[in-house]
Amino acid sequence: MTPRWYAAGGPAYLGALLAVDTQVGRGGQYLLGAVTWVVLIAGLRRLAALARAQALGVVCFATVGEVTGSLVWGVYHYRLHNLPLFIPPAHGIVYLSGLALARLVPARRVVAIAAAGAIAWGVAGLTVLPRLDVAGAIGVPLLCVFLWRSRARATYAAVFVVVAALELYGTSIGTWRWARTLPGIGIADGNPPSGVASGYVWFDVMALLVAPLLVSVGVRLRREVAGDRLHPARPPLAHRLDA
């Protein structure tokens, strides 16, 4: 893994991706999705197994969040009112970019930047920004708790920085737009809300929790497959797993 490339190249690719998306239809989005999956897979190749599992976990949990938040709840919607196929792998690239940034910038510095930025954004959404952002401000204390207590605070802080920049950029060019109020609740929401980047931390938390299990299962399966090849007389792997 080359941290310097991911820290700069990941956000640069995503920025270009969002800009191109504003100029294409659904067919173009399919192509963008395929290209983005290739970029993510290429980025995963040289990672350690645990980091690779974390990134794939983020993709899975973020996709569930996207379907729930956009297609089901309607808190925000994309330009074509769909879930572009490049969004799931893009979440993985966001995580890799944050992970790389956390390795380049001293932990205390990136945590301080994230905490100060989140608090300032949350306060601005309640006071001076043209659109009231109560929902976003609610998420800011959550991020601050993770930045204060978690052992992975540097990663969460770096991901916050990347997500915040992409949210501001993506909404400014019209790739997606947030509802003025949370549907069914009526709480005022920003575009983007300050807490959205804080909410992204939940994807990371869940991915970091399940990644060791995924790696353990993967190692066990590889050993089982290797054992089957060395001892062809043993019952097939699938039969033993079903037993």
Show me where the domains of the chain are located.
3-242
Of 238 and 135, which is predicted with more confidence? 135
Is the pLDDT assigned to residue 109 strictly greater than 50? yes
Q: Which of the four pLDDT bands, split at 50, 70 and 90, describes residue 206?
A: confident
Cα(51)–Cα(57) distance, rounded to whole angstroms? 10
Is the pLDDT assigned to residue 236 strictly greater than 60? no
Average pLDDT over residues 13-27: 97
Q: Which of the four pLDDT bands, split at 50, 70 and 90, describes residue 2?
A: low
Provide the whole-model pTM: 0.88
How do residues 147-158 score in pLDDT, each as one tens digit?
Answer: 988 889 999 999
Q: What is the reported pLDDT for 239?
A: 46
Q: Which of the four pLDDT bands, split at 50, 70 and 90, describes residue 237?
A: very low
Q: What is the reported pLDDT for 149?
A: 86
Q: Which of the four pLDDT bands, split at 50, 70 and 90, describes residue 222?
A: confident
Contact 25, 78 (CB under 8 A): no
Mean pLDDT (the chain, rounded): 89
